[in-house]
Chains A and B, each alone.
Chain A
């Protein structure tokens, strides 16, 4: 008689995490559902804001699913940790002229550390999430591996690169074996009430997904108007605040020009937005720091990899070279578009995640 171990499923109220819970119950695990409370209850009733991930109605959805599949469900308070490691980080990065990825910070601190700790405290051997990624063990050397999910379009491994040998052994991601089409179908077969709920695409703590209004509200002092200049320093127009622009952006510049203009660089110190032609948005390499390694313990010599500089792009062949101060230089075979300080670069070996880090600055050749 082999009772499977206890696993806590992080349930956002969405179809993926709901299906994850149902699948693990079917596989015989002792499942407990948990929804993380990340941001503040709005004191004023706001129907639109209540629809996003981890909102009150999301908690209700998770509870309903838990009831249907017959597992206990708890709501766990991670508000302080989320405020500190995600929201404050988000605001600080934008105020510094960088473009952060708050989901990567949330995964790193709130999920892989905070939630894991809390789940171990309630006796769980594993934490499961509905991510489209795979966690496996290398048959040869026994190392834990993070791999892409089978659905190329839906693969979420990019946002998970902060998993490490310690945390990987405690996480389960059952959906990595399936495509999105298959999971929706399975969710229907399980009769999950959220089977047809649209996926949440926005930043979960920004009301109405309006990050500009959010920045205006939280860090107004960082939004000082300044000049928009071309790559030669010629002033072409005015901007409303460096943090409102992102590298590679074309819309919203308010400049009439012969050829389309794109944001090429952001200069917070001099409060300037630098624009250029599309070709100027492409760079050959980048510097990255704050690295995490999965398939290796550390990088001691240059390595051939494929690397991804943003969630939505395809990997490109590149060489990663360690630098004395612990950061790395990444040079691509083909120039990459819109390499953005604050975003993450993630290194792959086929479908295995080697590791990743935060982009410090692009390198032009």
Chain B
């Protein structure tokens, strides 16, 4: 059976050229960048190139890039690092209800350490209002953290406006841009971003590597102690293969961002319109305009989301819904609940995220299989109760 991959928000296939570059770095230019000798110098050069390439994608300086193991670590680093280093200046952090769990759980942990967190609500489309951010600011606020684009529903937040506001008030602004980097243009200067989290495997780079952009001058506490790597902020021998791969992924993403965006938007909109046409009682979650180019998220009333996913998987379509628990079953999405969906409708949702691997044939296959599957589940869900 042919499997169609429509879960690019969960992860993407590593680009073949990126994979080749990673392999070459592992087996040929394998020195430790901290070593004095020829091999170390070779690796140091490779890492420096990767760093420049990534910085270019963000409009940042190479020395403002700090490598981590991925988006979750970058989020932990940003929040804990800023909170700890600035705790004499204040103890209040503003974030939103729809952040990724890496941000939310870190905030919850910070609350236990005595910090005060404001979780701003969002509107029915998943957008946070700049006014609500402004209204939440106090004398004690040391950080505002708002995700660039939401992973579940694709809504892109007013980052530039929030950044400008934070800048004006002298408050650090962090954005979890894990879903946005490589998919929408980002200029950390223009958007007044002080810290930014990103993850390689979300834009065809390797898994297990990410970065935190930290603007020069930002006061932040080191996250991993040990050697002096990453300017003493994040110890550990650099993951040079990862850095090289991430750099190449950044270059490829930047190369044809406009063209690829247009291509994905076309696929996405065809899929969205097709679902509306063929499946009654469907609700699109997230904004219609101003959403990530590959993101589609629907709720189908009367359908169990987990059953839908299993059915689709058995038919060769790989999608997702809500968030996975540690065991791998489906939990209802806190994001959909924050958008105001009822628990039942939130549990009836389906997320399809298109990427470089997808074609119109994939969209057509979904529009072929999905409607009848939804219809069958709706019929089965009208029980006369057993007994």
Contact = CB atoms under 8 A, between A and B. Distances in A.
Contact of A121 (B330, B380, B387): B380
A107 to B, nearest CB: 13
A166 B314 contact: no
A113 B304 contact: no
Interface in A48-77: 56, 59, 72, 74-77
A313 B307 CA distance: 40
A112 interface: yes
Contacts, number: 58
Given A116-B386, A164-B387, A121 B325 contact: no
Interface in B329-379: 329-331, 377
B32 interface: no
Interface in B113-157: none
Contacts of A117: 380-381, 383
Q: Is the interface of A mostly helix, strand, loop or mixed?
A: mixed
B306 interface: yes
Given A164-B386, A166-B387, A167-B386, A121 B326 contact: no
A37 interface: yes
B327 A123 contact: no
Contacts of B381: 117, 121
B328 interface: yes
Interface in A109-149: 112-113, 116-118, 120-123
A121 B386 contact: no
B386 A37 contact: no
A37 B327 contact: yes
A44 interface: no
Nearest to A63: B328
A12 interface: no
Interface residues of B, number: 21
Contacts of B385: 113
B306 A59 contact: no
B310 interface: yes
A214 B386 CA distance: 32
Nearest to B343: A80
B304 A118 contact: yes
A122 B387 contact: no
A35 interface: yes
A189 interface: no
Interface string A26-60: 00000010010100010000000000000010010
A96 B304 CA distance: 35
B176 to A, nearest CB: 21
A59 B387 contact: no
Contact of A74 (B310, B331, B377, B380): B310
By CB atoms of chain A within 10 A, which of B313, B327, B331 has the most?
Answer: B327
B306 A77 contact: yes
B325 A113 contact: no
Contacts of A164: 386-387
A262 to B, nearest CB: 38
A32 B311 CA distance: 12
Contacts of B331: 77
A233 B12 CA distance: 73
Contacts of A76: 306, 329
Nearest to A40: B325
Contact of B386 (A77, A112, A122): A112
A143 to B, nearest CB: 15
Contacts of A121: 304, 307, 310-311, 377, 380-381
A123 B329 contact: no
A90 B346 CA distance: 28
Interface string B85-110: 00000000000000000000000000
A118 B327 contact: no
By CB atoms of chain B within 10 A, which of A77, A120, A167 has the most?
Answer: A77
Contacts of A112: 386
Given A116-B386, A120-B380, A56 B327 contact: yes
A41 B304 contact: no
B370 to A, nearest CB: 15
Given A118-B304, A120-B380, A122-B314, A75 B386 contact: no
Interface in A70-103: 72, 74-77
Nearest to A122: B310
Contact of B306 (A56, A118, A120, A123): A118
Given A118-B306, A121-B307, A123-B314, A77 B383 contact: no
Interface string B270-310: 00000000000000000000000000000000001011001
Contacts of B383: 117
A77 B325 contact: yes
Contacts of B313: 72, 74
A118 B307 CA distance: 6
Interface of B: 304, 306-307, 310-311, 313-314, 325-331, 377, 380-381, 383, 385-387
Given A77-B329, A121-B381, A122-B314, 5 more contacts: A117-B381, A118-B304, A118-B307, A120-B380, A122-B310
Closest 8 CB pairs of A and B: A121-B307, A75-B329, A77-B329, A37-B329, A75-B328, A59-B327, A41-B326, A122-B310
13 contacts: A37-B327, A72-B313, A74-B328, A74-B329, A75-B328, A76-B306, A77-B306, A112-B386, A120-B380, A122-B307, A123-B311, A164-B387, A292-B387
Interface of A: 32, 35, 37, 41, 56, 59, 72, 74-77, 112-113, 116-118, 120-123, 164, 166-167, 292
